[in-house]
Structure 1
């Protein structure tokens, strides 16, 4: 019988949640030296220099402060750097390079993973576990709702006060975070507080990941998909609705462990997500699959039809477009392995 993601129920210890805050495997070996700036985009060279300078300054933060005979030196205020720019200009490469260059302990996570860790551990526990870090690297920084705004603002403010430096990437300027998702003006003070933490740098250039690529593969038939899964060691096969129901029962912090060790994810009878909750869970799952470079093969509707036009036109547009781009890339991996 074929394995199903829907039958997996990972259990994570608090220490593992923090230990798992590392760059995706594809960025294990990156460095500032391996980042190749586009000669036509001077902002990319400027970004490399700014990140190197950030590492030099942030590395000294925790050793600052005046010592006394009775107590250790208090850490200096952490510093912040915010890399703003479009998709595929190498921001995550630079973010991972910062992580690799900083002394430990240190943490790297997407914005969604940070909020998931806080949700799973509780605010106080998460704050205490992260407050001893030299740096917190946050990829795809975004604010999706008022609750996230308040939690993230408080967390980053308290972490920087304890000497933790923050570097983040996004395609939305700090002062515009939350626009289109909720009444951002009602939370302007919190958003401005976040903006004040960061020195912002724009990184321009074309998306190098998806230029001149063929269209997404056509979905398989159910029989073809089952045969494909059966002939692929380590593959899983789930009904779309079963998987959607299972994701609803798992905290998103467990999605990474959910797909650990899986070589291929096959999903039968894919159809448009019935609501935003289902859609956003699939966005979170897609991110974990993409980080782990796990191919995806499906039957039913095309992968770019999971998110309805109404969803794409709404406040989560960037999330959905990123997920579609990643799903199509993963489906091409599957096609290459077929």
Structure 2
């Protein structure tokens, strides 16, 4: 059974679905090793499983740029992994659940705690929360592992120490190496013990090959779709589906200065949003900067031709594009017109020329490759 993952990968190679990639092979080898470790750790009988304390295996942390096949490898591993209880999700979704569990423990009375957690005593929410998570899954596979929120950073060390102690094994993909997590974050020194713990519990493998497979799709399809007619709408939808690669839209949230910005159509590091949802509501620079930090690819649809009466929306659009530009974010747009004719006259129309220039640059092959 320990060679199931390798066989699944070879089958994809033979079918032409993927092509040989030395960087991916290193990640594959690490996951094949973990597959064997998990198989060996399985109790030989149900009776032994009742009395044997589960042990955490040395997991795998796949780090590297966008589009190198990290998620594909993890998904293949997850499908074949010999673990009875396993879960694959995006890291930000998982952390949202953790915060809700912590809140439920702190606010619940004894009866509510007993119903939710099977226990009621104590002031520390981490042990009962870890019990719930470990009971649901002994193998956790996280896509898009990243830490930007101080609330996440301050609980990760104790949470994962508790999870590892309960026999949970971790597999994760990330655009950042462990030492780069929560970089420049507030009180980062308090986060460093978690980094040390993480590196002691996973094998870190860099998948940083020269080929970006998502970039191939963007180059082939283009990133600016106008006018906003049925043909371009279908092309925009098709590209979004291809870029998802079968992933589910789990949605996302940004927390900005105590406020929450909800983004229903998000999956990992990609988000799809309308012009109205980002520029026709009271959002500002901090919101757009948080968006650029959280997502590497933004699909922006239904961008209208702007008139002088919509100068506030034009101003917000300028701020949005500035944030995405500075964040080196990939931008795919469905619009009524080309960038240079989106806002031809009105307050700020002269300044909008710089935005149009940036939009042209952001659709270029060099920009896409650089990101």
**Deviation readout 1:261-286 (Å, 9 max, x if unpaired):** xxx96543853951434654698799
> 1:58 and 2:3 equivalent?
no
Closer, same or farther in 2 for the Cα pair 1:145/1:62, shift >3 Å?
Answer: farther
Closer, same or farther in 2 for the Cα pair 1:90/1:269, shift >3 Å?
Answer: closer
Structure 1: stretches of 5+ with no match in the other structure: 1-29, 233-243, 333-338
2:249 maps to none
2:56 maps to 77
* Contact kept? 1:279, 1:306, Cα under 8 Å: no
> 1:146 and 2:162 equivalent?
no
Distance 2:96 2:291 in 1: 12
Relative to the length of structure 2, the TM-score reads 0.56
2:215 maps to 210
Closer, same or farther in 2 for the Cα pair 1:216/1:111, shift >3 Å?
Answer: same
1:268 maps to 276
* Contact kept? 2:288, 2:320, Cα under 8 Å: no
Q: What SS does the aligned partner of 2:62 have? A: strand
- How far is 1:216 from its partner? 2.9
Closer, same or farther in 2 for the Cα pair 1:214/1:160, shift >3 Å?
Answer: same
Closer, same or farther in 2 for the Cα pair 1:188/1:283, shift >3 Å?
Answer: closer
- How far is 1:54 from its partner? 1.3
* Contact kept? 2:292, 2:324, Cα under 8 Å: no
- How far is 1:93 from its partner? 0.5
1:197 maps to 201
Q: Aligned residue pairs: how many?
A: 261
2:346 maps to none
**Deviation readout 1:238-275 (Å, 9 max, x if unpaired):** xxxxxx99x998796x947x99xxxx965438539514
Match of 2:303 among 280, 290, 298: 298
CA RMSD of aligned residues (A): 4.6
Pair member with larger Rg: 2
- How far is 1:161 from its partner? 1.6
Match of 2:138 among 134, 138, 145: 134
2:12 maps to 34
> 1:106 and 2:109 equivalent?
no
- How far is 1:42 from its partner? 1.8
Which range is displaced more, 296-305 or 149-158? 296-305
Indicate the structure with greater helix content.
2
Which range is displaced more, 128-137 or 180-189? 180-189
Closer, same or farther in 2 for the Cα pair 1:149/1:269, shift >3 Å?
Answer: closer
Q: What SS does the aligned partner of 2:214 have? A: coil
Which range is displaced more, 83-92 or 150-159? 150-159
Counterparts of 1:314-333 in structure 2 under 5 Å? Answer: 317=327, 321=328, 324-325=329-330, 328=332, 331=334
- How far is 1:200 from its partner? 0.6
Could you say which structure has the greater relative contact order, defined with CA pairs below 8 angstroms and 6 or more residues apart? Answer: 1
Distance 1:269 1:111 in 2: 24
Distance 2:25 2:220 in 1: 27
Closer, same or farther in 2 for the Cα pair 1:197/1:77, shift >3 Å?
Answer: same
- How far is 1:127 from its partner? 2.3
- How far is 1:165 from its partner? 0.8
> 1:171 and 2:175 equivalent?
yes
Q: What SS does the aligned partner of 1:86 have? A: coil
Q: What SS does the aligned partner of 1:87 have? A: coil
Distance 1:191 1:61 in 2: 26
